[in-house]
Structure 1
Amino acid sequence: MNIEIDDRYIPTEHGDVFTRRWRTNQTRKTPIILLHDSLGCVELWRDFPERLAAATARDVIAYDRLGFGRSASHPGGWSPHFIRDEAEYFFRPVWQGLDIEHFVAFGHSVGGAMAASVAARYPRNCRALITESAQAFVEDRTLRGIRQAQAAFAEPGQLDRLRKYHGEKAEWVLSAWIETWLSEGYAGWTLAGSAPGFACPLLAIHGVEDEYGSVVHPQHIAALASGVTQTLLLEACHHVPHREHADLVIRAVDEFLYAMVC
């Protein structure tokens, strides 16, 4: 299948947001919108979006959240409610700027929590929800994994890995992730606070060896759904299934969306 890549910036009241769309010209199929993880951006999805577009024969769209990648700096006001805020305030102008009515929300890690919040807030528009390695609450394993990453990034030269993708925003990206999740004020966070429920079909993907969350997380996410739910647990898989087991993830997403006729 011929895939065309369309890069564009969408102006919002808080600054320009960078988006990339892998176009398939299959306009009758609902496009997939990808929401990245806490340190992620469009580029860090690597070749997964193009492969997903080709396999599902539908457009795939990714965007850099404000403060990340090529998008403008975050406008401030970062808080323990940042997941809910993304769905309520920042996602809408991006989605509307894409000139699409319906979409499939697919989020990795904290992007999965954001995708669930989007599904809950826009039930008429979100046709299906896919979460990958998403957290539903603050678990000891999550905090342990973040502390280990914090120590790793403190080593000389490690921050340069983030600067490659986020430029001068890299320090903010790292501190926003670490300081929020390790703060006392965030200890009681649960996904139910920003996504109290959603009716669209759900596919929850999780690696059994995920260093940031045990397999109870997809169970908690499924408990918020009132529609069809599917869970895919991947053996010998850590926090990035779409990189570690890309073929399995793409096949599962394709079969799920085909069955849901969306």
Structure 2
Amino acid sequence: MTAPETPSCDVVEAERRIRIGDGSLFAKIWTPEGPEADRPAPILLFHDSLGCVDLWRDFPRLLASATGRRVVAYDRLGFGRSDPHPGRLESDFISREARQVVPALCEQVGATDFVACGHSVGGGMAVETAARFPTRCRALVTIAAQAFVEDRTLAGIRAARRGFQDPANLARLARYHGGKAEWVVDAWIGTWLAPGFADWNLDGVLPAVRCPVLAVHGDGDEYGSGEHPRRIAAGRGTAHILPETGHVPHRENPEGLVAAIRRFLGGI
């Protein structure tokens, strides 16, 4: 698909390393050309359970061009081009990302205020970030995010687990995560299917979100029903359903996704 027909500008890309307590993270920044003083708060991107910077594909550039904002994406520890994770993924990894990583990321990329935007489990991290930094987070965007552990989500993960029994599927993932690919898969499946994770939800943290909210979801999302965006947006913003779109809107429907985010941020 092509980029949405919206006003756009040229974008400069840069890579850098972010130092955190457990190691070094790979990050990439897309900066629209133009005076820095006129640029609104940057967008921080949080990837999904199997994702990384490279799997956002062209979405960050399109988003930066359409909104005139810097877009910052990074690989979480254990993913993509970041350092390996030192052990198992903690059960509180979603809230931990907001507590431990976001402050270091913002400091090292010069983001005083920001827009938190996350895909799938990264949407949960974006919610946690908005709740933890209410005076700094200017807006929250979730993309195919989960707000609780739903049977539909678990069924999708079990189907994916069967798919990864084919070594070719793991090999495809290794193109992005290298030798960490098996850890990435185990972290995703093992965490979500663990009995101790069954009661996880965002209900306790959502009331602390003070900024405008856009919760985007595909009508054909195989990992979650429309109850997720409704719960995230309830009393806080808008649930926007993309037609003929599954769990990965930034690859399946980039025009519709970027246009929705541009309109939302344009009103802030």
Task: Pick the aligned partner of 1:3 from 11, 33, 54.
Answer: 11
1:249 correspondence with 2:257: yes
Aligned to 2:107: 96
Q: Who is 2:55 aligned against?
A: 44
Task: In structure 1, list runs of 5 or more residues that go unmatched.
Answer: none
Match of residue 96, structure 2, among 65, 85, 91? 85
Residues 198-226 of structure 1 show CA distances to partners (whole Å, capped at 9, x for unaligned) of: 01000000011100000000111123x5x
Check the 8 A contact 2:134/2:209 in 1, yes or no: yes
Tell me if the contact between 1:17 and 1:94 (Cα under 8 Å) persists in the aligned partners.
no
Distance in 1 (alpha carbons) for counterparts of 2:86 and 2:206: 23
CA distance in structure 2 between the partners assigned to 1:4 and 1:23 by the alignment: 5
Q: Does 1:150 pair with 2:161?
A: yes
Q: Which letter does structure 2 place at the counterpart of 1:129? A: L
2:149 counterpart of 1:134: no
Q: Aligned-pair distance for 1:81? A: 0.9
Q: Which runs of 4+ in 1 moved over 3 A?
A: 193-196
What is the deviation of 1:174?
Answer: 0.4
Q: After superposition, what is the alpha-carbon deviation per residue over 1:17-67, rounded to whole angstroms, capped at 9, x for unaligned?
A: 111001114533111111000000000000111111111111111000111
Counterpart of 1:179 (choices 186, 190, 197) is: 190
1:119 aligned to 125, 130, 145, which one?
Answer: 130
Two-structure CA RMSD over aligned residues (Å): 1.3
Give the aligned residue type for 1:124: T
Letter of the 2:202 partner, please give it: L
Out of 216, 226, 233, the residue aligned to residue 205 of structure 1 is 216
- Residue 91 of structure 1 and its aligned partner are, at CA, apart by 2.0
Contact 1:17 1:66 (C-alpha < 8 Å) held by counterparts: yes
Residues in 1 aligned to 2:19 and 2:227: alpha-carbon distance in whole angstroms = 39
Q: 2: distance between equivalents of 1:123 and 1:76?
A: 31
Q: Report if the CA contact (8 A) 1:83-1:194 is conserved.
A: no
TM normalised by structure 1 equals 0.95
For 1:25 and 1:125, how far apart are their aligned partners in 2? Answer: 24
Q: Cα deviations across residues 102-126 of structure 1 (Å, max 9, x unaligned)?
A: 1101100000000000000011111
Q: TM-score, normalised by structure 2?
A: 0.92
Q: 2:173 aligns with which of 162, 169, 185?
A: 162
**Number of corresponding residues:** 257
Retained in 2: the 8 A contact 1:24–1:59?
yes
Q: Distance in 2 between matches of 1:139 and 1:208?
A: 16
| 1: CA distance, partners of 2:167 / 2:104 | 38
Counterpart of 2:79 in structure 1: which amino acid? F
Q: Could you tell me the percent identity over the aligned residues?
A: 51
For 2:255, the aligned partner's letter is: D
Which segment is superposed worse, 100-109 or 190-199? 190-199
Contact kept in structure 1, 2:32 and 2:69, CA below 8 Å: yes
